[in-house]
C-alpha cells in the first residue's frame, strides 16, 4: 500500500494522502509511510502537515539498527564502517533523509565539502523542515568560505525555530568572517555569560577584540581562559600574537612548566612553544627562542604535510600557460570592473602595512584576506574532472579553454561574492590575500583592470617571520625553514615570469625601501594604484579600522626601522633557509633591489 501511495505522488497527491491514512494504523512505526505522506502534503502545498510527517519519518529512522550503528561508528570516527551501513540503509530507502544527512557528515569530515553540500541540499529538498540538516549546511558553507549563503541558512533556521546557542556560535563565526565584528563580539559575550567554560570562545573573542583594537580586553579574554585551564596553549598564543604584549617572568615559568607536561596534547604544546619562543625573544635569549620555535614547527609540520613537488608542478604549469601571447589573445576580455585592488605575496612580507596605508585613503575600503579567488579556482578545478587530495589536477590548464563569456562571468561572480565584505560606498576595495600570488594569472584574466600589488621582503626576514608565526589555518609551507625557502623560490619564479608575460600589470613594493623612505614609496604606491596623493596615507597609524592579521598592533603605530633587522639575531640558525632559497637569496642585493630570477 505504501508503494501504491508513492505511485500517486505526482499525478494525484491527495489520493496518496488518502491511501497512507488507511495504512498508518498498521504502519505507525514505518518511516517510509511518513516520508510518502510528507511528500504528498508538500505537493499539495500543506507545508505544516508536510513538516510534521517528514520529521516523524526522521525520528522513526533513528530506530533503524543500521543508522544507530552508523552513528556509533561516526562517534568513533570510523567513517568507512558508517558509510557502509548507511549505504545498506539507502539501498532500501533512497530518500531516507536521516541517512542522507549522516552521509553528508561523513563527506564533510573527509574533506569532500562539495559532496556534503549536494547531499544536504537533497535532504532539504525532501524535508525542508529538517532544521539540523540546515544548520549542517550552514556550517559546510561557512567552511567553504561562502558566508553570505551560510548566513541565509542561519536566517532560515532563526525564522523556523528561533536561535539556540550552537547556531549563535556559528553565526558569530560567520559574522567575524564578513567584518561584522561588533555583532560577533556581542554574540560571543552573550554566549560566554552562559557558557564561561567554553575555552575556544574566549580565544575567538580575544581575536576579535584584537582586530578592532581592544588590546586590553583581548588580554582579559585570554586570561579568562587561562584562569580555567593554565595549560590551554591557544590562550597563551593569543597573548603572544598581540605583538606589543610582553610576558612576565611568572608567565614564562608557567608556560615552561606546562610545555614539559607528559600528558599535554600536541595542539596545546605547539601553541605553548610558539608563545615561549616569543617570550624568550623578548628577553634576548635567541638560542632558546629559536629552539622553542623549532620544536613548535616540527609538531605542526607532522600535522600539515607539504608537497614541494606538487607546488613545483603547479608553478611550471602556470608559467607555460600565462605567456604574453596568452594575454594578448584575450585582450578586452574579462570583467572590466576597476574597484578591486589585490595585495599579494608572501605572508609576513609587509602586506598588512600596505593595506593600512591604502585603506587610509578616502577612496579605498579595506576589507580583509578574502578567500574568493581561491574558492573560484577550486570550483574551476572541480568542474574540470575528479577532485584531488592535494595539489591541483585540472587547474590552471583549463583556464586556456574558458570562453570570453566564462572569463567575464567569473570576474562578475568575484565582484558579487565580495560585496558582502564592503561596508562603505568607496570607489575601491582591497583584497589582501597573500596566497593569491598563485592565482595572479587567473586574476588578470578575469579582472584585467584590477590593480595588483606584490609586497616583497628580504627572504631571510620573511622566512624567519613565517617560521615563528602560528597561522590560524593552512600555510603548510611555513612550518619549516626548508619548506619556506622552496616556496619563496617558486613565488619569485612565477612572479618574474608573470612580469614578462604582462608587463606593468603588477606593482612591486619592497618592504625595506618603504621603511627607509616612507614618503617616497607611499607616493609611488598611490600613483601606481591610480589614486591621488592624500596625506592620510602617511599617517596610516591613526586609522581606527579593524585589522584581522597578526600585524594589527604594528600597523597602528609609526614605522619602526629597528624592527627591520630583528631577524639578524637568528641568522646563525638560518642555514637551511639560506640553502633552500638558493638564487632567490643571491639575487637580493644590499641596495634593496630585487633582480629578476
What pLDDT shows up at residue 53?
66
Instruction: Looking at the structure, tell me whether residues 402 and 525 fall in a common domain.
Output: yes
- 311 is a domain residue: no
Instruction: Looking at the structure, tell me whether residues 328 and 230 fall in a common domain.
Output: no
Q: CA 406 → CA 378, 380, 409, distances in Å?
A: 15, 11, 5
- 186 is a domain residue: no
Tell me the CATH number at 568: 3.40.50.300
What pLDDT shows up at residue 92?
83
Residue that finishes a domain, picked among 303, 333, 350: 303
Q: What is the Cα–Cα distance from 445 to 410, expressed in whole angstroms?
A: 10
Instruction: Looking at the structure, tell me whether residues 171 and 225 fall in a common domain.
Output: no
Residue that finishes a domain, picked among 303, 331, 355: 303
Instruction: Looking at the structure, tell me whether residues 130 and 238 fall in a common domain.
Output: no
Q: What is the Cα–Cα distance from 557 to 550, expressed in whole angstroms?
A: 14
Q: Per-residue DSSP letters for 186-205?
A: HHHHHHHHH-TT-HHHHHHH
Peptide bond into 396 cis (omega under 30): yes
Range of the domain at 464: 323-586
Angle at 105 between CA 99 and CA 107, to 5 degrees: 105
Q: Which of 570, 569, 568, 552 is nearest to 213 (CA)?
A: 552
Instruction: Looking at the structure, tell me whether residues 402 and 335 fall in a common domain.
Output: yes
Instruction: Looking at the structure, tell me whether residues 15 and 130 fall in a common domain.
Output: yes
Residues 484-494 as b/e (b if ≥16 CB within 10 A, e otherwise) read bbbbbbbbbbb
DSSP H helical segments within 472-558, as ranges? 481-501, 511-516, 518-528
Asked if residue 468 lies in contact with residue 573, where contact means CB atoms within 8 angstroms, the answer is: no
Split into its structural domains, the chain has a count of 3
Instruction: Looking at the structure, tell me whether residues 17 and 105 fall in a common domain.
Output: yes
- 594 is a domain residue: no
Q: What is the Cα–Cα distance from 411 to 445, expressed in whole angstroms?
A: 9
- 188 is a domain residue: no
Instruction: Looking at the structure, tell me whether residues 168 and 198 fall in a common domain.
Output: no
pLDDT in tens, the chain (597 residues): 666 656 656 667 776 666 666 766 655 566 666 566 666 666 677 767 766 766 666 666 666 788 889 888 988 889 999 999 999 989 988 888 888 988 999 999 998 998 999 999 999 988 888 888 999 999 999 998 899 999 999 999 999 889 989 999 999 999 999 889 999 999 999 999 999 999 999 999 999 999 998 999 999 999 999 999 999 999 999 999 987 889 999 999 999 999 989 999 999 999 999 999 999 999 999 999 999 999 999 999 999 999 999 999 999 999 999 999 999 999 999 999 999 999 999 999 999 999 999 999 999 999 988 999 999 998 898 775 444 434 577 899 999 999 999 999 999 999 999 999 998 999 999 999 999 999 999 999 999 999 999 999 999 999 999 999 999 888 999 999 999 999 999 999 999 999 999 999 999 999 999 999 999 999 999 999 999 999 999 998 888 766 655 555 566 667 877 778 899 999 999 999 999 999 899 877 544 444 343
Q: Which of 490, 483, 460 is nearest to 574 (CA)?
A: 460
Give the three cell numbers for residue 235: 590562550
Instruction: Looking at the structure, tell me whether residues 172 and 239 fall in a common domain.
Output: no
Tell me the CATH number at 209: 1.25.40.10
Instruction: Looking at the structure, tell me whether residues 278 and 377 fall in a common domain.
Output: no
Q: Which of 78, 71, 139 is nearest to 99 (CA)?
A: 71
Give the three cell numbers for residue 312: 613545483
- 314 is a domain residue: no
Q: What is the Cα–Cα distance from 193 to 290, expressed in whole angstroms?
A: 39
What pLDDT shows up at residue 590?
45
Instruction: Looking at the structure, tell me whether residues 170 and 199 fall in a common domain.
Output: no
Q: Which of 471, 507, 341 is nearest to 418 (CA)?
A: 341
- 331 is a domain residue: yes
Instruction: Looking at the structure, tell me whether residues 342 and 427 fall in a common domain.
Output: yes
- 318 is a domain residue: no
What pLDDT shows up at residue 388?
41
Residue that finishes a domain, picked among 151, 181, 211: 181
- 308 is a domain residue: no
Chain mean position to CA 208: 16
Q: Per-residue DSSP letters for 327-393?
A: HHHTTT-S-----EEEEEESTTSSHHHHHHHHHTSTTEEEEE---HHHHHHHHHHHHTSS--SSS-S
Q: What is the Cα–Cα distance from 556 to 208, expressed in whole angstroms?
A: 16
Q: Which residues contact 304 (CB under 8 A, 6 or more apart)?
A: 474, 476, 479
- Burial class of residue 75, CB neighbours in 10 A (0-12, 13-18, 19+): exposed
Asked if residue 147 lies in contact with residue 174, where contact means CB atoms within 8 angstroms, the answer is: yes
Amino acid at each position: 500500500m505504501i508503494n501504491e501511495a508513492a505511485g500517486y505522488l505526482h499525478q494525484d497527491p491527495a489520493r496518496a494522502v488518502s491511501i497512507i491514512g488507511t495504512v498508518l494504523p498498521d504502519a505507525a512505526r514505518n518511516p517510509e509511510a511518513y516520508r510518502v505522506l510528507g511528500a504528498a502534503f508538500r505537493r499539495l502545498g500543506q507545508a505544516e502537515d508536510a513538516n510534521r510527517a517528514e520529521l516523524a519519518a526522521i525520528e522513526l529512522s533513528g530506530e533503524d539498527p543500521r543508522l544507530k550503528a552508523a552513528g556509533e561508528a561516526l562517534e568513533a570516527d570510523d567513517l568507512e564502517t558508517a558509510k557502509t551501513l548507511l549505504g545498506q540503509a539507502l539501498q532500501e530507502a533512497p530518500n531516507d533523509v536521516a541517512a542522507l544527512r549522516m552521509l553528508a557528515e561523513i563527506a564533510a569530515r573527509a574533506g569532500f565539502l562539495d559532496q556534503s553540500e549536494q547531499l544536504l541540499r537533497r535532504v532539504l529538498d525532501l524535508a525542508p523542515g529538517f532544521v539540523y540538516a540546515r544548520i549542517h549546511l550552514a556550517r559546510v558553507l561557512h567552511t567553504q568560505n561562502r558566508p553570505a549563503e551560510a548566513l541565509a541558512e542561519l536566517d532560515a533556521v532563526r525564522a523556523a525555530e528561533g536561535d539556540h546557542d550552537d547556531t549563535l556560535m556559528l553565526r558569530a563565526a560567520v559574522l567575524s568572517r564578513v567584518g561584522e565584528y561588533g555583532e560577533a563580539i556581542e554574540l560571543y559575550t552573550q554566549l560566554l555569560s552562559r557558557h564561561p567554560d567554553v575555552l575556544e570562545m574566549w580565544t575567538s573573542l580575544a581575536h576579535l577584540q584584537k582586530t578592532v583594537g581592544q588590546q586590553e580586553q583581548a588580554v582579559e579574554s585570554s586570561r579568562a581562559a587561562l584562569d580555567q585551564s593554565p595549560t590551554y596553549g591557544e590562550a597563551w598564543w593569543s597573548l603572544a600574537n598581540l605583538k606589543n604584549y610582553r610576558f612576565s617572568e611568572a608567565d614564562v615559568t608557567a608556560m615552561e612548566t606546562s610545555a614539559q607536561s607528559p600528558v599535554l596534547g600536541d595542539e596545546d604544546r605547539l601553541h605553548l612553544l610558539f608563545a615561549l619562543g616569543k617570550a624568550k625573544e623578548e628577553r634576548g635569549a635567541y638560542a632558546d627562542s629559536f629552539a622553542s620555535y623549532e620544536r613548535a614547527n616540527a609538531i605542526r609540520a607532522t600535522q600539515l604535510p607539504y608537497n614541494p613537488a606538487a607546488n613545483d608542478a603547479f608553478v611550471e604549469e602556470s608559467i607555460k600557460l600565462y605567456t604574453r601571447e596568452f594575454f594578448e589573445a584575450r585582450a578586452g576580455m574579462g570583467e572590466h570592473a576597476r574597484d578591486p585592488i589585490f595585495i599579494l605575496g608572501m605572508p609576513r612580507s609587509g602586506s598588512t602595512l600596505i593595506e593600512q596605508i591604502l585603506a587610509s585613503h578616502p577612496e579605498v575600503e579595506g576589507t580583509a584576506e578574502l578567500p574568493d579567488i581561491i574558492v573560484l579556482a577550486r570550483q574551476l578545478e572541480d568542474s574540470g574532472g575528479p577532485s584531488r587530495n592535494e595539489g591541483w589536477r585540472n587547474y590552471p590548464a583549463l583556464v586556456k579553454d574558458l570562453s570570453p563569456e566564462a572569463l567575464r562571468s567569473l570576474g562578475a561572480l568575484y565582484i558579487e561574492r565580495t560585496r558582502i565584505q564592503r561596508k562603505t560606498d568607496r570607489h575601491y576595495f582591497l583584497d589582501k590575500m597573500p596566497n593569491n600570488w598563485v592565482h595572479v594569472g587567473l586574476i588578470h584574466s578575469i579582472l584585467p583592470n584590477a590593480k595588483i600589488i606584490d609586497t616583497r621582503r628580504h627572504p631571510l626576514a620573511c622566512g624567519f617571520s613565517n617560521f615563528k608565526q602560528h597561522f590560524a589555518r593552512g600555510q603548510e609551507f611555513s612550518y619549516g625553514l626548508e619548506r619556506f625557502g622552496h616556496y619563496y623560490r617558486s613565488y619569485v619564479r612565477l612572479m618574474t615570469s608573470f612580469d614578462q608575460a604582462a608587463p606593468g600589470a603588477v606593482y612591486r613594493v619592497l618592504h625595506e625601501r618603504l621603511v627607509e623612505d616612507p614618503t617616497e614609496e607611499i607616493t609611488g604606491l598611490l600613483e601606481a594604484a591610480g589614486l591621488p596623493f592624500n596625506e592620510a596615507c602617511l599617517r596610516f597609524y591613526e586609522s581606527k579600522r579593524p585589522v584581522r592579521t597578526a600585524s594589527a598592533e604594528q600597523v597602528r603605530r609609526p614605522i619602526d626601522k629597528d624592527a627591520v633587522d630583528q631577524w639578524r639575531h637568528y641568522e646563525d640558525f638560518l642555514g637551511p633557509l639560506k640553502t633552500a632559497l638558493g638564487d632567490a637569496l643571491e639575487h637580493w642585493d644590499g641596495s634593496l633591489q630585487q633582480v629578476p630570477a
